[in-house]
Chains A and B, each alone.
Chain A
Amino acid sequence: MTPVVAGLWGFVLLVVLMFARLPVGFVMAIVGFLGFGLLSSWDASLNLLARDFFSIFSSYNLTVVPLFVLMGQIAHHTGISSRLFNTANKFLGHLPGGLAIATIGACAGFSAICGSTSATAATMASVALPEMKKYRYDPALATGVVAAGGSLGILIPPSTIFIIYGIMTEQSVGKLFMAGVLPGVLLTVLFIVTIVVWIRLRPGLCIPAPKASLQERIASLTGVIETFILFVLVMGGLFVGLFTPTEAAAIGACGTILIALIGGHLTWKGFASSLNETTRISCMILVIVAGATVFGHFLAVTTIPAGIGAWVAGLKWPSYLIIGMVILVYLLLGCLMDSLAMIMLTIPVFYPVVTTLGYDPIWFGVVIVLVAEMGVITPPVGINVYVVAGVARDVPLQVIFRGAVNMMIALFFTALLLITFPQIALFLPGLMK
């Protein structure tokens, strides 16, 4: 069997096992192990298995994952999200669709201390949905906004997807984080524009909340201070190169705990469940990374990635067409599988293609995050929609999907702008040393 043929069979087995509901990380390790054994030797493959798992589990760079997850979990369990929403609500709630706009604002704020879409969606769902229900917001609007707004979690730093992408492709995680800031702001604005247009077109979707007085507004500002301090501390320190991403995450987690303790918001139970969630999510992520590493070693010996890279480079197609194809593949895959797994699976193949075409790896990281964001709200496998459905038990899944898909317009526009003007992503990282 030639390496290429073995590689193709490997992909077939991968798809079969994955659709048989075998966990994605396990599948990649199994196929990688079998393929590598077949193409080199079984002894080498057995060795590889133990070494890859140890090197991934003990990787200093990856320890940033549990620490940032912990930071987000503590924030989730200590009511930071409800204070953010309260502030946004006091300023924006009285506008038409104001609570939905406030939800997006609070999502953006929460994303600045949390690196996951599902955690952001979960925390905002429990805070914002009851309020919106009170003012008779249309269920599709209310739930769709939370599901889509939650996706900001991986674009505005910190972000688990940027971390994993950065480590896989040996790009600076700090630069990737900075690259996410301006597109994050842009997407927040476009989400809000989408809501405003939506309400204009269908004015009966909600009734406005009462207007807050100036005093109430000023008093509510304290709800933003903690988030602001944490974000400036963590991202500022990263930006000026004061500490590594792991150190930034540790300080962020510690700071979140301290602020929660000072405010009297942290209970022992909240702390224990934060830790439990942290180990579970980190374990899930790192097992996928370890599996993808074994699989990547197999792919490398099949010579398929290099072959595809050379083939695409020889196509003489305009490069935006190829980028368009890559994005299309991501959109399709994103409908079927978890975004992290999708990225791990495709990076070894797509990354060489994209860099051969001369695109900036940091910019491509942001593009990938945007398509991953679309993936978390598109049917049938949109994790954020399921998370929101878990909170809004009276709203059927298809209604949430309908709302979320409306919000996708903003994601498409952001992606389009990002492809036309790569500077939106590359400006801030360019300022770093």
Chain B
Amino acid sequence: MSRITKEIARISAGFNTLAGAAVVLMMLLTCADVLLRLLRHPIPGTYELVGYLGTVIISFSLGLTSLSKGHIAVEILVEKLPRRAQAGIEAGTSLISAALFGLIAWQSLVYATDMRQSGEVSVTLTMPIYPFIYGIAAGSALMVLILLLDSLRSAIRTVKP
């Protein structure tokens, strides 16, 4: 299991680097657009591109955020319980979360495929939209792996503390 854990951590870090690059690109693109607009030559399609870069940032940082327990939760009740009960609860909640991201991954795939088949493109750049939705599916799929592994680990800790 530790090999899988390591592998998932590596993929999450790689995804996150992509998200970080998207942040930098978003900043540079927006600044360039503002500057060139002053010279009356704005970059066409900046508005769309920045939005899609936003998708890249969030979908590809889901994994590392989850690994570093970055998603805000209400700790106040569970942290007062004995360790074993905590592990038991976490096994359940991680499983529920995995189910949620499973649904999101699956539905994003369906949505993206619909978009691809209907040939939906963005307004200004007439750029296909579906790859970004596949991005959400990829990020969510990684979440499923992370959360299932979390659930498994907690379940083991519940049975053999």
Contact = CB atoms under 8 A, between A and B. Distances in A.
Q: Do A and B bind each other?
A: yes
Contact of B34 (A30, A51, A251, A278): A251
B108 A63 contact: no
A250 B31 contact: yes
Contact of A20 (B52, B54, B78): B78
Contacts of B136: 50, 53-54, 57
A42 to B, nearest CB: 11
A341 interface: yes
A57 to B, nearest CB: 4
The majority secondary structure among interface residues of chain B is: helix
A279 B65 contact: yes
A254 interface: yes
Contacts of B59: 57
Interface in B35-66: 47-48, 50-55, 57-62, 64-65
Interface residues of A, number: 56
Contacts of B75: 21, 381
Interface stretch (A198-206, A281-289, A296-304): A281-289
Interface stretch (A4-12, A165-173, A332-340, A350-358): A332-340
B141 to A, nearest CB: 13
B121 to A, nearest CB: 14
B70 interface: yes
A261 interface: no
Contacts of B62: 283, 287
Given A60-B47, A341-B72, A50 B111 contact: yes
Contacts of A287: 58, 62, 65, 71
A17 B93 contact: yes
B97 A26 contact: yes
Interface string A242-267: 01001100110110000000000000
Given A254-B31, A284-B70, A380-B76, A70 B23 contact: yes
A243 B34 contact: yes
B126 interface: no
B97 A18 contact: no
Interface in B78-123: 78-79, 89-90, 92-93, 96-97, 100, 103-104, 107-108, 110-111
Given A63-B51, A279-B20, A21 B77 contact: yes
Given A20-B92, A54-B136, A251-B31, A26 B72 contact: no
B58 A282 contact: yes
B158 interface: no
A70 B96 CA distance: 32
A336 B111 contact: no
A24 interface: yes
A290 B17 CA distance: 22
Most buried by A among B23, B79, B97: B23
A377 B155 CA distance: 35
A49 B26 CA distance: 26
B57 to A, nearest CB: 6
Contacts of A23: 71-73, 97
A58 B131 CA distance: 12
A276 interface: yes
A113 to B, nearest CB: 15
Instruction: State the 3 A-B residue pairs at the shortest beta-carbon distance, nearest first.
Output: A250-B30, A50-B107, A23-B71
Interface of B: 16, 19-20, 23-24, 26-28, 30-31, 33-34, 47-48, 50-55, 57-62, 64-65, 68, 70-79, 89-90, 92-93, 96-97, 100, 103-104, 107-108, 110-111, 132-133, 136
22 contacts: A33-B100, A50-B107, A50-B110, A50-B133, A50-B136, A54-B133, A57-B55, A66-B54, A247-B33, A254-B28, A272-B20, A276-B16, A279-B23, A279-B60, A280-B65, A280-B68, A282-B57, A283-B57, A283-B62, A284-B71, A336-B74, A380-B76
